[in-house]
Chain A
Amino acid sequence: MGNQENISFAVNGLQAICRKGLTLEDYLVGAELEPHKVLVEINGQILRAEAFGTYELNAGDQVEIIHFVGGG
């Protein structure tokens, strides 16, 4: 009981929902993103890749998932 509680947060400006306790790494894998190929900011702070597996998403988190693209 309580394990199924869902939380709402934002990813790249869009609303998202996940179960409480989900780590960022689990979220990335679920979104079919390779964790070592993206950069993540949470609430304006860079989250180091080493912390992806331990960071549990919180209600109201503003998550930015960024990667390198072609540019000049």
Chain B
Amino acid sequence: MTVNGDPFVIGGKTLSSRLFIGTGKYGDDALIPQIAASSGSEVITVALRRVDLSNNKGNVLRQIPENLQLLPNTSGARNAEEAVRLARLARAAGVGDWIKIEVISDTRHLLPDGHETAKATEILAKEGFVVLPYVNADLYVARDLVNAGAAAVMPLGAPIGSNRGLAAREMIGILLEEIELPIIVDAGIGRPSQACEAMEMGAAACLVNTAIATAKDPVRMGAAFGEAVRSGRNAYLAGLGRVLAQGAEASSPEAGALTGFLRK
């Protein structure tokens, strides 16, 4: 099913859902297939970590329905070299060639390093990866990513995991104006209304993890985000109505108003 014949084509795949979901922070990974179903999402992120040899909790992949596109991330990488290493490992696992580049060395605000991200993007795009880089909403970084061969640009709405929404709204708007690649808002979105707004602005998709995982009912919240993203996309395609700078304009015609007639 596509929204009014509006499929999202990325990395050679045609997606009918413009919501990407994550798999982090779930108390119980058994929720993941239910959220995949309720949200309608077709792309799901995972991370790579050392196996804890004394307490192996098992592999998250067993909870991910096979029809979903896996999007491994390079979280934990502090520079381009580490991101490239993680990307190659992920691909060696045979889960496809999509990779979300995430390079973070700032431990307080967890902001992504655009320079290192662009370096990793260039290397991996040349190796045939579908590269989805996670960055600040910065026009120059986004242009570097275009030149480096990224498949999309993924600006953060607000600091990762914060649920603070579209704090970077204005800068994301600039990327939407200037960058030809799909803009996927990733990180910080806390409410379905914020995902909806990003889509109304023209974002190609949203990636949501924490807002769903930390909801009281994550399965229902998955559904709410799925609907919000669809709604926002439809609004964008429909073209928002105009805004009056001041004053008001009645929605019903003045002519023939019964009350005016009766007053005479």
Instruction: Spell out A's residues near B (CB within 8 Å).
Output: 11-14, 31-33, 37-39, 41, 46, 48, 64-72
Q: Which residues of A contact B26 (CB under 8 A)?
A: 70
Q: Are B75 and A71 in contact (CB under 8 A)?
A: yes
Alpha-carbon gap, A36 to B257, bound state (A): 76
Taking A66-B51, A70-B25 as known contacts, 19 extra A-B pairs with beta carbons closer than 8 A to each other, sorted by chain A number, are A33-B51, A37-B59, A39-B48, A41-B89, A65-B51, A66-B50, A67-B49, A67-B51, A68-B46, A68-B47, A68-B60, A69-B49, A70-B29, A70-B32, A70-B60, A71-B23, A71-B24, A71-B209, A72-B187
Alpha-carbon gap, A19 to B59, bound state (A): 28
28 sample A-B contacts, Cβ–Cβ < 8 Å, listed by A number: A11-B53, A12-B51, A13-B50, A32-B56, A39-B89, A39-B92, A39-B93, A41-B89, A46-B89, A46-B92, A66-B50, A67-B59, A68-B46, A68-B72, A68-B95, A69-B59, A69-B60, A70-B23, A70-B24, A71-B23, A71-B73, A72-B24, A72-B45, A72-B73, A72-B75, A72-B160, A72-B187, A72-B207
Instruction: Spell out B's residues near A (CB within 8 Å).
Output: 22-26, 29, 32, 45-51, 53, 56, 59-61, 72-73, 75, 88-90, 92-93, 95, 160-161, 187, 207, 209-210
